[in-house]
A and B are shown apart, each in its own frame.
Chain A
Amino acid sequence: MCVRVREEVVKLGLCAAALVSVAVLLVLVGYIFFNGAGAINPAFLLESPYRFEHGGIFPQVVGTFCLVAVCLLFAVPLGLATAIYLAEYAADNLVTRSVRFFVECLAGIPSVVIGLFGLVFLVYFLGFGVSLLSGGLALGFMILPWTVRASEEAIKTVPYSYREASLALGVSKWQTIRGVVLRNAAPGIITGVLLGMGKAVGETAVVLLTAGSGLESFLPRSLSDPVGSLPVYIFMLATQGHTSAASSRAFGASLVLIAMFLLSSLFALLLRNRFVRRKRRKIW
């Protein structure tokens, strides 16, 4: 076969693969949309669920927000601090390499195992109960390694010459990290946090075991209250509902979940672009 024909065949094959990928995505989203759109109305969004497949999903939406907030409040400061330590302070020795290795391993643990650990350690051993706190922390354990890794990578891409320039001005190491390194690493760190947040928003197994049954009809009033969340609500309706109303509500909740994820991604992207373009006059 002559080269030109072969080139054409390869090109067509690759193009077909790309089309199939897009088609899978379109079918998936389209299917969810057509099955779920009918379930969405103001009452569905603003009321609480009752008798399994009646009412709305308001507490689940709020619960998902709260869980992600607790998760990020725990994982982002801790992950960022760990990343700064690993990238800027730790000597390259056995201890540092071990820490990095364990972080990598933690990233590979299946979420159901993290959920189990959360159930045994947070819910029972520490006595936090099935609650917003347990669920948020367990989600935090799950995204911690991603936060550490993304932040460390982002910090490492900041050119050494920036650090050198700052240090040569008599600026201390910590001030250099705050004023030059983190500022320039911010877009990468935000991207990492965004990826972690995306994982946390949709995570089912972890919150199923630690946060609540998914059908809660009340809003959490404290960290020790159980909370419902959209993924668990969807799981419940999908596995235990037998009516068409149940499945259409599950699809409706899926649609809301996807919308929440897209909105939070959009927000994070805007925040990131602001960091990239901003000409801040005050750094400290």
Chain B
Amino acid sequence: MSKIEVTGLSVFYGRGTVQALKEVSIKIEAKKVTALIGPSGCGKSTFLRSLNRMNDLVGAKTEGEVLVDGEDIYNGGTDVIQLRKRVGMVFQQPNPFPMSIYENVAYGPRVHARGWGNGKLKRRLDRVVEESLRRAALWPEVKDRLGESALKFSGGQQQRLCIARALAVNPEIILFDEPCSALDPVSTARVEELLRELKRDYTIVIVTHNMQQAARVSDFTAFFLLGELIEFGETTRIFEKPSDKRTEEYITGRFG
């Protein structure tokens, strides 16, 4: 079953002068990992950011249709706040807030907690924080240091904290924008392991410039080039028998 259905998506920057995406159509499966690969500037990040409308922030103009659970998120009636709660995001650079571990994870739920009783709030937040940190495989390392500043932790820990922070608002889809590009190999391996865990409960879309990573973690792969979706299919098929010559050239490292 597809969770996200994109039809004829075009995105323009700079008052419509630069076209970053050209008529992209794709169906993203629920509870699978879909990897977006391609050289820099190919539009993969733009595509990712159009799924939670983060492109709106930089004044991008969007044409086409993006359905999340059958609902067109660009039709004007969509509540962007609700959309972003359902579609979480983890960024390239770990960007924890300069607050404690606890506050980082509790930040989202606290904002969305209108209507929880005050006495209940604390207990519920404690539970959400613990559960999110457990799911992000960070709990054992930080459970005794919840009050310490997030900035004191390593890059890999910070990135898993950002994943916990995204999980805390209970999303259905999580978008990863090159989440490992600022991490060392050991941290990268831990995040990849986590991705395999998370896909049991969440639909995951990940942008990566690392083809081995795409091959390791994803079920489906989409190859972008110059704003166009060149090829999309099951990861094993894309890597073993690409049907487009450009895909084959990219995968075999002929350009990149």
Contacts and interface: CB of A to CB of B under 8 A. Distances in A.
Contacts of B83: 170
A161 B111 CA distance: 18
Contacts, number: 72
A169 B99 contact: no
A139 B232 CA distance: 66
Contacts of A162: 95, 97-98
Contacts of B18: none
Given A169-B165, A170-B84, A279-B100, A164 B107 contact: no
Interface string B198-242: 000000000000000000000000000000000000000000000
B127 to A, nearest CB: 16
Contacts of B102: 281
Interface residue tally of chain B, by bracket?
20 to 34
B93 A170 contact: no
A168 B57 CA distance: 11
B165 A161 contact: no
A169 B163 CA distance: 11
A166 B103 CA distance: 13
A283 B91 CA distance: 24
A14 interface: no
Contact of B85 (A169, A179, A180): A169
Given A284-B110, A284-B111, A167 B95 contact: no
Interface in A245-283: 279-281, 283
Contacts of B54: 164, 167-168
Given A179-B111, A279-B99, A167 B169 contact: no
Interface string B108-120: 1011100000000
A168 B81 contact: no
Contacts of A131: none
A179 B100 contact: no
A180 B147 CA distance: 18
A169 B147 contact: no
Interface string B69-82: 00000000000011
Q: Which 5 pairs, one residue from A and one from B, show the smallest C-beta to C-beta distance?
A: A170-B85, A170-B84, A161-B95, A169-B108, A168-B89
Given A165-B96, A172-B81, A283-B103, 18 more contacts: A161-B93, A162-B95, A164-B57, A164-B91, A164-B95, A165-B91, A165-B95, A166-B107, A167-B54, A167-B57, A169-B107, A169-B166, A170-B84, A170-B111, A171-B81, A281-B103, A283-B107, A284-B110
